């Protein structure tokens, strides 16, 4: 097995919680450097302020994982591809759909592997739900993705700024599962976006979907940041044959007709890096922007409602 030299760019919370420890223990990769604007270090590895300095100092880096905020990902991805690196991107890929499309086109031009990750897709329960729906068809599906923003984004004002996505930030995880398990293509038919009076991104979103299924299954989503107590991240489905499926714990567990059939510890990032190694071995890319496109469509045609001001 080729051991790939990899670097991680952007050492925020998701890099520290997931990417660094997961890459450290995956034998397919050798973590050789990190880039951190704030100068964060890891295991005494070389740390650089910018990717350009890193590529110059360590020319034989094979691949990079980009874990920065979305607004700078496009420029960093293009720079990495131009430097001849294969690229893994955290979700949600880029700040806009045009930037995401340009990253994909540029990777093709450069002949590099590009991998847009959606971590919530990497759960055995998600694969099992996908397999059941592929066989039995879907009669109805309801996403409920409700959490307390004060618990999950305490004091992070950027989630409320333009481009910060608001409750779509967790909601896009649900949408990434949705597009993975659904045996048909969904379309946003209508949406209601509820904005706090003093904020620029929605705190609550309701979406009704149509699809390519002529039987017109009932498909809906409810994202809410006003949930009190424990988060409710689940998707309830009924198959055309009448079975009731429930994905819960963010996609880590599945029950069928009330019986839990899959219940595994969440190893999303372990699976992501296994998949990346496989893509690199096969020189294949995996670039799916459909979850981000559903967000864009919902924001393009959604009805805007205003609710109470939100303060931390």
Binding site for a second copy (CB under 8 A): 74, 78, 95-99, 101-102, 162-163, 185-188, 190-191, 195, 200, 212, 290, 293-297, 299-304
Alpha-carbon distance of 18 to 34, in angstroms, equals: 14
CB of 40 to a second copy, least distance (A): 27
E strands in the chain: 4-9, 29-35, 47-48, 63-66, 86-89, 114-116, 138-146, 186-196, 204-211, 218-224, 232-239, 244-248, 253-256, 259-263, 303-307
Q: Indicate the DSSP class of residue 245.
A: E
The catalytic position among 25, 56, 91, 189 is 91
CB of 101 to a second copy, least distance (A): 7
The residues, ordered by sequence, that sit 6+ positions from 259 with a Cβ below 8 Å of its Cβ are none
Alpha-carbon distance of 143 to 221, in angstroms, equals: 4
CB of 298 to a second copy, least distance (A): 9
- Of the two residues 30 and 99, which places its CB atom closer to a second copy in the complex? 99
CB of 74 to a second copy, least distance (A): 7
Residue 232 annotated in active site: no
293: its two tokens: 């496109």
- Of the two residues 252 and 294, which places its CB atom closer to a second copy in the complex? 294
- Of the two residues 92 and 251, which places its CB atom closer to a second copy in the complex? 92
- Of the two residues 134 and 208, which places its CB atom closer to a second copy in the complex? 208
CA distances from 83 to 56, 59, 77 (A): 10, 9, 10
- Catalytic residue numbers read 91
């Amino acid at each position: 097995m080729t051991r790939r030299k990899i670097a991680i760019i952007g050492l925020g919370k998701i890099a520290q919680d997931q990417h660094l420890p997961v890459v450290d223990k995956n034998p397919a990769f050798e973590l050789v450097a990190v880039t951190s604007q704030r100068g964060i270090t890891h295991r005494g590895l070389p740390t650089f302020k910018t990717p350009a300095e890193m590529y110059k100092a360590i020319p034989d880096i094979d691949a990079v994982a980009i874990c920065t905020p979305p607004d700078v990902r496009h420029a960093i991805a293009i720079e990495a591809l131009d430097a001849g690196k294969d690229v893994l991107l955290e979700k949600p890929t880029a700040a806009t759909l045009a930037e995401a499309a340009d990253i994909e086109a540029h990777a093709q031009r450069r002949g590099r592997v590009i991998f847009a990750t959606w971590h919530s897709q990497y759960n055995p329960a998600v694969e099992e739900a996908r397999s059941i729906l592929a066989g039995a068809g879907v009669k109805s599906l309801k996403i409920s993705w409700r959490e307390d923003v004060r618990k999950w984004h305490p004091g992070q004002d950027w989630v409320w700024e333009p481009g910060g996505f608001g409750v779509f930030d967790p909601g896009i995880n649900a949408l990434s599962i949705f597009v993975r398990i659904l045996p048909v293509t969904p379309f946003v038919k209508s949406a209601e976006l509820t904005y706090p009076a003093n904020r620029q991104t929605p705190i609550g979103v309701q979406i009704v979907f149509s699809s390519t299924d002529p039987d017109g299954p009932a498909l809906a989503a409810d994202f809410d940041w006003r949930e009190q107590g424990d988060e409710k991240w689940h998707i309830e489905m009924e198959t055309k044959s009448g079975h009731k499926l429930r994905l819960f714990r963010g996609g880590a567990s599945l029950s069928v007709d009330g019986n839990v059939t899959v219940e595994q510890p969440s190893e999303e990032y372990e699976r992501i890096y296994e998949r990346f190694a496989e893509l690199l071995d096969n020189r294949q890319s995996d670039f799916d922007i459909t979850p981000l496109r559903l967000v864009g469509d919902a924001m393009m045609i959604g009805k805007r409602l205003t609710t109470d001001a939100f303060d931390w």
